[in-house]
Chains A and B, each alone.
Chain A
């Protein structure tokens, strides 16, 4: 049976809203963005208690948000040292990160941004995944992004994910809402996006709600805001996609604790959790292969995919410049033409064509919302 669970949020409002469904026994697994708990404020006692229980049961799923998998520069070694402490403390079933980079140049953190599909980008991502794999005693993997700057980003993401995961025998955390956002916003059939992804590597699926937002041009774009109920379309998509994922083990419902602001929202959230739980219980029972648990096992490609050499110093410098310039341009509200020109000068081998002005506008909003200046 595929397990149903929640992405754990540390806010008291989340505890208030979710407590009854924990008490009813509906939450079979728990996902924790462990690096959220590395801040100076520490973790509330109730969060630690939940983490301990699910860890003991073998159903605690680790999900990083700040490693910057495709980031050329950053605090990767410090993050890895903290991860080593984290996995000493608790047992995670697997560890995933986002297919993108966070923070560059003036920014120490940002919303995850996509990178173009190049040999050097793949090599960097594979190296970063290997670095995680040497520390943890569980599989490692990636989650697909919602954010894209061009249709090309969306269409190429499947191949990028495939090439990143193959050399490390990694797992895929398939975020169906992210994929649906890209399908709607780029007007690409979702089947095209799905087919490009290695569905046999899917161990976990994310479901979430989102909302439409209008750009300056008047175009409506779907955003992965995690502050609404899961739309019925997504549940239908889950029922279509899950049977194609033979190694699926868990479906996780994502909702920001800060969005659970009143009694009506709590009631609706709980009703939605019960509905989704029933849908997950009705999915065909998969027969997942055992997860690989030794770091050594993750260092070889299981299907003969790319096994790239680490990027050169010059390539790393170009990627770092590209990332710093992109975030800077987004923060300053540059048009897609200006950004393309800037990136072409900074990193000609990476510079994308055909950026979409509306998608760039959304990325700029995300950068201003989540960006942390150095």
Chain B
């Protein structure tokens, strides 16, 4: 009877999800409510978690709760701590969720709401969540080792070194593109810049509070920080209205670039307790609160989607936000939310050291990624509730908008200057035109949803306050990622250079700290500057590079996962990781090839460089150099992953053909002490 009830319940959930997908896929021309999108996503997650993750946990990985985890064996009360699975779920989610799942779907909305949503929902169930889960499992069985260490041990030392180099290069592109999003959101925005500048002294104050005055009192410091942050947000509105004060916080994108570079350098050499830790706590609280509030607000107002299911840019490939057709660019534009290689660094970092029992990895690894995908779906909803004309005007440079004007006009995506002026005034900004990067359009979408919910609940709408709250929310955790990313990049550089000059590898030697920080900051700072001065807005070239690099890191992780499954004698299940691996390699190699060799100057770096050859612009030499540099970076990423895949394929062949003994480097089995009465 119980089994019949379960079959009926899951059959009902599956049918509901299928019906929601049907509504989304078959609607053409009529307005679709966001409720269908939410229903399709939630039902797919439920079915995926209940059946597929269980299959992975029991049949593929063979999770064994009788086996002691690293948290139990090495429990030291600090980094190795057995932690309740729901607590660790929140901790892991806070570490994996950043700007990516918010910004990627907003940019991919250029193709309409359907392609991005399908990729978010299906990609996560069969790809992204599997990657997180398999790497968490592998690290859990190896005392919490990192992805690079596992690649070195399980594939070969060259693979380990390749993975490490890949992570370093990816980090540089990632930091550049994230910084570009912040710069585009804060340029000529005194309210936004004032609020973000205020977060620095607030974080310093919190740092002193937690370290010097009241050691470890994170709650007190965070409460104080939150109050001051709210004050800064409100004060920002006043600052923006003062003719003598506002110019102090009104800067061009180029000026903001230099400020970001200086900030990144200082933040990475300061002690972590001073700036990084307090900012991390603030952004974690803000992130979790805002995501919960956004989910509730969407459920309260269930907004209609104004973007069509598919736009003409899906097949034309001439999108004003970024160039390229739906395949492969929708799949690299949305990385976090569907599948993100960066998560493999978290899944082989702190999380495996805190898991109390092996079966918890299912909820934390697989379930945590499903939640991130849900955040991506909410970002897609927020972007698609905007008028398409407004969306394209905000996310495109005037030059690209002019190029796409005919297609935009035919599709009915038009917006008048008056509408944009009125919207900017309502959001407390002077202009919202050409704010590429996704963050400002997401902020407008979120502001409208929050304002809609607060007016539905009887409150005032306060659009401008909500808009700047959303900008602060995004900028705060992007800056946290820049702090941590620059620091981690510095450690990697020191480790690599330490093989040549051991003194340089000492992380406490200050000349090495300064030099390596400067090199990492110079690396991402150059790409940031390149993006800022790019006539097409920077996102067109940098976001695809970031997407390709992030997905290629996911390919590295899936290679390692597949190798370990084969060595464990589970070759018959290797398709769970090799199928998403094959898909990722296909999309990233296709996208990389097109970005380098396409004859369309908007798409191909080399074609763009060639198109500039006869130009008389004073910047032409720099622009051509940038195109060639981007070509080099794209080819480098593709080469690095090709090497790793070839070495992995060789390893698989040797093991499967029994030419080589399969040796897994798992920690020895130790029975758990938690089991009582077994």
A, B in one complex: no
